[in-house]
């Protein structure tokens, strides 16, 4: 696994003693195996009456022998760290210890499936491509189920239109109910004040904690520029994502309602000994956000003991034991001008991983930031919405695995997305290659152009 952030001269701190992993506590308090109990009972069992006196001496010798063997066996078991009565070689004991250690590590590995820019409802009236966005989104959730992800993180633009059609809303809600509802338990918990970080209008907490619902694949999402909150004939700002949130189908976070300052409060997640601080910032106008960032009106709240009640939030060097993830939906600094994007230098350097939405080109592998203290992954859109070179790249989602301060990001290709090829054609050069020139006054110039373009398309395909 890769380190979340660079540290200098930092030794590994011991893991916190108190945590909420019920599996570890159950294993520690579990009674000894039945075989050891049976052996102890046999050792102290009195002789049966009516035995042959002639065999008393031999029986006593046999029992003495058996007791000594059992005592030696019990001693060997204690030395191997096991209470069973079966003798094990040192190699077998070491293998068993390694297996137990791996099982303990799995209890603290938080799995998050990363996806963004699903654009549900894109081109829905097209007879051929009308269901592409829904098929891709269904594959995303199917992969989350297949890889046993603890949760799904969406980085904006879940819907393509600000006011999705009834057909789009109906299909989306049907897919979410089919893949996110179930009877399995959720492996992590939220340890922060949910009213401060989640926009849950009804219950005030995450959807999987609502006793009237049975959600076993939680989805956490921010809004994008396509489904941002707007006033629809009233005072309240509502997004299409709010409709899914009030239905307890998704967990909506990262929304900023203040106009003069921005306060980003994290969703604090904990699974075993792994602690993750999830920061989200929904889409807003790039010029406004850039101006507020330059004016130092953007504030990120960091977890502390007052929020979590945990004395182990910092290690021996005073550094936070939280793995910090920041997801946003804005332009990247890719030649758009200094005021029309978010620069990597604006992001707090103590972040560990940034999940960047809005950019449709798939750059799923985590790359080092220009600042050098955190890494960036750009999942890209799950469906192509324009014929550009960036959209022609193979679409992926990412399976993020976090263990303590380390993480691993596995790219997973999407197979339901239609691919296309992009190429540049110079009609003048192609005509000269064929021994002629394109004359605009030639009555057959359109036919000649069509022949050249057909040949180029066939070559691309």
Residues marked as catalytic? 226
Contacts for 251 with CB less than 8 Å, ≥ 6 apart: 198, 200, 206, 207, 218, 219, 220, 221, 245
Q: Give the Cα separation of 427 and 241 in Å (integer).
A: 46
Residue 322 to residue 303: CA distance in whole angstroms: 8
Contacts of 336 (CB under 8 A, 6+ apart): 286
CA distances 155 to 130, 308, 318, 328, 450, Å, are: 23, 26, 31, 6, 42
Cβ count near 235 (within 10 Å): 5
Residue 280 CA, chain-centre distance (Å), reads 13
Nearest-5° Cα angle at 217, 132 to 354: 75
* CA-atom Rg of the chain in angstroms: 31
Structure tokens at 7: 């540290």
Q: Residue 426: in which H helix or E strand, if any?
A: none
* Phi, psi of 126, deg, nearest 5: -75, 130
SS3 353: strand
| Closest among 256, 162, 252 to 206, alpha carbons compared | 252
Taking residue 456's Cβ as centre, other Cβ atoms within 10 Å add up to 15
Separation in Å, CA 20 to CA 26, 107, 216, 272, 405: 11, 11, 19, 6, 18
* CA–CA distance, 107 with 274 (Å, rounded to integer): 9
DSSP summary character for residue 266:
-
**In whole angstroms, what is the distance from residue 104 CA to residue 403 CA?**
11
* Structure tokens that stand for 281 in this block: 């910032």
């Amino acid at each position: 696994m890769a380190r979340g952030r660079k540290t200098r001269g930092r030794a590994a701190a011991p893991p916190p003693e108190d945590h909420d992993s019920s599996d570890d506590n159950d294993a520690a308090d579990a009674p000894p195996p039945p075989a050891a109990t049976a052996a102890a009972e046999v050792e102290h069992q009195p002789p049966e009456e009516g035995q042959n006196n002639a065999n008393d001496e031999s029986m006593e010798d046999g029992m003495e022998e058996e007791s000594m063997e059992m005592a030696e066996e019990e001693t060997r078991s204690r030395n191997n760290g096991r209470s069973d009565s079966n003798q094990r070689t040192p190699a077998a004991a070491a293998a068993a210890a390694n297996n137990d250690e791996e099982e303990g590590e799995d209890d603290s590995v938080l799995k998050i499936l990363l996806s963004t820019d699903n654009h549900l409802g894109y081109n829905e009236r097209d007879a051929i491509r009308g269901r592409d966005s829904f098929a891709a989104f269904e594959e995303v959730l199917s992969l989350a189920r297949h890889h046993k992800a603890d949760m799904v993180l969406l980085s904006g633009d879940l819907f393509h239109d600000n006011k999705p059609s009834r057909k789009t809303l109906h299909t989306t809600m049907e897919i979410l109910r089919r893949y996110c509802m179930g009877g399995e338990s959720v492996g992590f918990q939220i340890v922060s004040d949910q009213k401060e970080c989640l926009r849950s209008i009804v219950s005030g907490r995450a959807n999987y904690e609502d006793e009237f619902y049975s959600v076993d694949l939680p989805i956490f999402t921010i809004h994008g520029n396509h489904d941002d909150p707007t006033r629809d004939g009233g005072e309240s700002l509502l997004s299409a994502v709010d409709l899914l949130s009030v239905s307890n189908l998704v967990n909506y976070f990262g929304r900023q309602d203040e106009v003069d300052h921005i306060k980003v409060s994290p969703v604090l997640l904990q699974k075993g000994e792994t602690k993750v601080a999830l920061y989200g910032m929904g889409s807003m106008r790039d010029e406004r956000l850039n101006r507020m960032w330059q004016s130092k009106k953007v504030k990120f709240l960091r977890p502390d003991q007052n929020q979590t009640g945990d004395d182990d939030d910092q290690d021996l060097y005073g550094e936070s034991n939280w793995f910090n993830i920041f997801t946003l939906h804005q332009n990247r600094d890719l030649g758009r001008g200094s005021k029309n994007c978010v620069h990597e230098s604006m992001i707090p350097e103590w972040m560990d991983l940034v999940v960047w939405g809005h950019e449709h080109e798939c750059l799923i592998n985590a790359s080092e930031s220009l600042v050098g203290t955190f890494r960036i992954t750009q999942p890209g859109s799950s469906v192509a919405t324009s014929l550009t070179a960036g959209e022609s790249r193979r679409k992926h989602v990412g399976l993020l695995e976090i263990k303590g301060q380390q993480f691993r990001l596995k790219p997973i290709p999407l197979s339901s997305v239609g691919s296309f090829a992009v190429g540049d054609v110079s009609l003048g050069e192609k005509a000269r290659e064929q021994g002629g020139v394109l004359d605009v006054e030639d009555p057959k110039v359109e036919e000649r152009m069509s022949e050249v373009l057909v040949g180029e398309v066939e070559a691309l395909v």
